[in-house]
Every structure is written in C-alpha cells, then in structure tokens.
C-alpha cells in the first residue's frame, strides 16, 4: 500500500477522515481532503496544512466534483443520530447523490473507490453476531432510515457500478468507533458518557442499559481501511470492521465513571425508536481476507479518549499552540497521532 498516489478523502476533516488523511500522508501520498464542514472541523487537520502534499477543499459531494485522483475514500456523511436526524433529507442526499457523484468520478478517472458503510445496515438485528451475509432488519420509514437506508442504497450503487462499469470498489461496514477528535456534543455513547462523567453530570442511558455495543478504537479502524483498500481486486467487501468485544451500555457507563473518578449517577430514559438492542461484528472475513483484527482493548482506548476530553474541556483546546506544534512534527511520528502519550495529546485539535 505504500507509494505515491493522489488520494481523495471525502469527509476528510471529520473524526475518522482526519486520522485517515494523516495516515495516507505518512505513507507518501498526495491527499485532497474534501468536506462541507457539516460535522467535520478544519481544526482537525490544522496540523497537516503546512504539508505541500495536503490540500483542503470545501465542497458538498451532493454536487459533482471534477478532480484527477487515483483512489477515493468516501467517508462523507454525518454518522451520529443527533446529526443525521437533524436534516434527514440531506442525509439521504449525501448517501445517495454523494455516492453517485463519487462513483462517477471513479469511473471517469479509473480510480479505486472505498465506501464507508455502517453496521446500521443490519438494523435491529435478528442474527447475532452479525456476519456480512445477514441482510438486516431495517425500518425503511423510521427516523433512523435516512442513515440506515441511505447507506444500504449506497452499497447497492457501489456494487452496480462495479458490475456494470467495472469500477474497482471496496466496501467496509463500520461498527461503533471512538477515540480523540470526537465532538463533545455528537450524541454518541462513548463521548456522551465521558463528557457527562468529567462534568459530574448524570450519565444518561436510554433503555435499561442491557443493550450491547462493540467499541473499536480509531487506530484499529484506520488500519482496517488501509488493508481493505490495499487488498487484491477480488476483495470488494462488504467487510465488517469493528471490535468483537461486546459490552452492555450500562457496563460502559460504569467503566467510564470508575476511570474518571466521577461523582456522576446513572439515569435512565426511554429507548429511542428503532435503536438496536445488540451489536457485535463477525470479523471472520476481515481476519481471513485482510489479516486484520483490533489490538486496542476498551480500557486502553478509553484512557486515551478520556485524556483527550479532559484536555478539551479544560479550555486548553481553545489554544492554537498545540496544533501549531504538531504541524512540523506529525510526519516523523512512528505511530498514528492517536497513539501519542497523554502529554502530547494536547497537540491534537478536536
């Protein structure tokens, strides 16, 4: 996978996109980061701006984009219910029109294209753990459908472009991922619990807390992206990428309280409509085809994520000094920036 390529990353200033841009630059590629900043932030890539191989373009992929690239990673779409339900029509457009535009670009340039799909294509699953062969149980008219069905339609488009036009595709189904650069108000369970615990506010659990999730640290997920994109042409996916360690939501809340030393109590609210009761990836295909499996356990990943949010909430996140310091040094780091020691984590802007 190493070598000089022109790589487009849509959603490149977001949580996952910014770490992907960082990794691609380390491998010697030219990176065009495209984002409309709906949920992404330019601050996530401030430390990359001085690299002559990195370029940022404000653009909404629901409109065509005319550039010359060798590879495309399509990550553009709000991924948390708070954001994708805020403007559900735009969410569908981003998934469907955006996929059509990026696939059209890949067709024209003969670029290999990666789709960041989601475990939400399985809906509230009747099969556990979820293998790629499972077709899911999704409510097509519910409040989550703009995201769930949008991603399912995007997968359809990817495979039709592959069959009809010979476009080389890769499709990854991403399970819950967490780490530094998550937003403090994005509504995801890990960031919600950490922020509430650090503020000693009640930790809000929806339902009775027995619903399960599997949490993958961002380092591991980005490694999966790179391996899937670098796999032989016959490995199109879809491939589950996630950590098969399964935890009840209540267990996560208790762990966060313990690790932060918080005085927070736990409160319970009604479960949202169509919220899945269980999530656990079957990663047999990723292990077999990519030689991939996660290496960061939940407690280790939470330590790094808690350290980030401590820094962010302390007000230090408003200083530009950390991002400026990392600008000249990121390319020489032996590991991804998310693996930095806690004292260096302040160099990572949210």
Q: What is the pLDDT of residues 245-260, one digit of tens each?
A: 999 999 999 999 999 9
User: For residue 318, what pLDDT band results from cuts at 50, 70 and 90?
Assistant: low
Contact 82, 185 (CB under 8 A): yes
pLDDT tens by residue, 223-237: 999 999 999 999 999
Contact 197, 309 (CB under 8 A): no
The tokens of 270 are what?
């009604």
The tokens of 327 are what?
């600008």
Whole-angstrom distance, CA of residue 221 vs CA of residue 283: 12
Q: Say if residue 129 is preceded by a cis peptide, omega within 30 of 0.
A: yes
User: For residue 120, what pLDDT band results from cuts at 50, 70 and 90?
Assistant: very high
The tokens of 268 are what?
């319970």
Q: Which residues contact 165 (CB under 8 A, 6 or more apart)?
A: 107
> DSSP states of 227-268 as a string?
HHHTS-TT----EEES---EEEHHHHHHHHHHHHT----EEE
Instruction: Return the number of other C-beta atoms located less than 10 Å from residue 184's C-beta.
Output: 15
Contact 173, 117 (CB under 8 A): yes
Q: Which of 73, 122, 147, 161 is catalytic?
A: 147
Residue found under tokens 């589950």: 240
pLDDT at position 348, please? 33
Contact 333, 340 (CB under 8 A): yes
Kindly report the average pLDDT of the chain as a whole number.
89
Contact 346, 316 (CB under 8 A): yes
The dihedral sign for the CA sequence 333, 339, 344, 348 = positive
Give yes or no for residue 345 having a pLDDT over 50: no
Mean pLDDT of 109-125: 96
Q: How many residues does the chain have?
A: 350
Whole-angstrom distance, CA of residue 47 vs CA of residue 331: 10
Give yes or no for residue 328 having a pLDDT over 80: no
Give yes or no for residue 25 having a pLDDT over 90: yes
Whole-angstrom distance, CA of residue 263 vs CA of residue 243: 29
**Nearest one of 152, 253, 257 to 210, comparing CA atoms:** 253
pLDDT at position 187, please? 83
The CA distances from residue 255 to 164, 262, 269, 349, in Å, are 49, 10, 19, 25
Give yes or no for residue 290 having a pLDDT over 70: yes
The tokens of 112 are what?
């290999």
Residue found under tokens 């591991």: 220
Q: Are strands 6-10 and 71-74 parallel, antiparallel or unpaired?
A: parallel
Read off φ and ψ for residue 58, nearest 5 degrees. -80, 115
Mean pLDDT of 54-64: 97
Whole-angstrom distance, CA of residue 194 vs CA of residue 171: 31
Contact 100, 156 (CB under 8 A): no
Contact 223, 187 (CB under 8 A): no
Is 134 part of the annotated catalytic residue set?
no
Instruction: Return the number of other C-beta atoms located less than 10 Å from residue 328's C-beta.
Output: 11
pLDDT tens by residue, 148-197: 999 999 999 999 999 999 999 999 999 999 999 999 888 889 999 999 99
Give yes or no for residue 34 having a pLDDT over 90: yes
């Amino acid at each position: 996978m190493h070598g000089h390529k022109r790589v487009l990353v849509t959603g490149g200033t977001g949580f996952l996109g910014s770490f992907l841009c960082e990794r691609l630059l380390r491998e010697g590629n030219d990176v065009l980061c495209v984002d409309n900043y709906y949920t992404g932030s330019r601050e996530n890539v401030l430390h990359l701006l001085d690299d002559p191989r990195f370029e940022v373009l404000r653009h909404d992929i629901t409109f065509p984009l005319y550039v010359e690239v060798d590879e495309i990673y399509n990550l553009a779409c709000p991924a948390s219910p708070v954001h994708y339900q805020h403007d559900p029509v735009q969410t569908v457009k981003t998934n469907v029109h955006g996929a059509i535009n990026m696939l059209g670009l890949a067709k024209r340039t003969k670029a290999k294209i990666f789709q960041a799909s989601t475990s939400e294509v399985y809906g509230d699953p009747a099969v556990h753990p979820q293998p790629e062969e499972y077709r899911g149980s999704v409510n097509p008219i519910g409040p989550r459908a703009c995201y769930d069905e949008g991603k399912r339609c995007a997968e359809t488009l990817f495979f039709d472009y592959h069959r009809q036009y010979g476009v080389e595709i890769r499709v990854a189904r991403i399970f819950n991922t967490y780490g530094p650069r998550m937003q403090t108000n994005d509504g995801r369970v890990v960031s919600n619990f950490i922020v509430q615990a650090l503020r000693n506010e009640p930790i809000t659990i929806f339902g009775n807390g027995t619903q399960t999730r599997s949490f993958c640290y961002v380092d591991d997920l980005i490694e999966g992206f790179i391996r899937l994109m670098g796999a032989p042409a016959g490995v199109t996916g879809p491939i589950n990428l996630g950590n098969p360690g399964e935890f009840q939501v209540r267990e996560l809340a208790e762990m966060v309280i313990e690790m932060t030393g918080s005085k927070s109590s736990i409160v319970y609210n009604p479960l949202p409509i169509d919220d899945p009761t269980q999530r656990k990836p079957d990663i047999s295909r990723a292990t077999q085809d990519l030689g991939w499996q996660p290496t960061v356990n939940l407690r280790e990943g939470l330590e790094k994520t808690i350290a980030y949010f401590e820094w962010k909430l302390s007000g230090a996140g408003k200083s530009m000094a950390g991002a400026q310091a990392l600008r000249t040094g990121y390319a020489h780091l032996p590991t991804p920036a998310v693996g930095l020691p806690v004292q260096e984590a302040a160099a990572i802007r949210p």
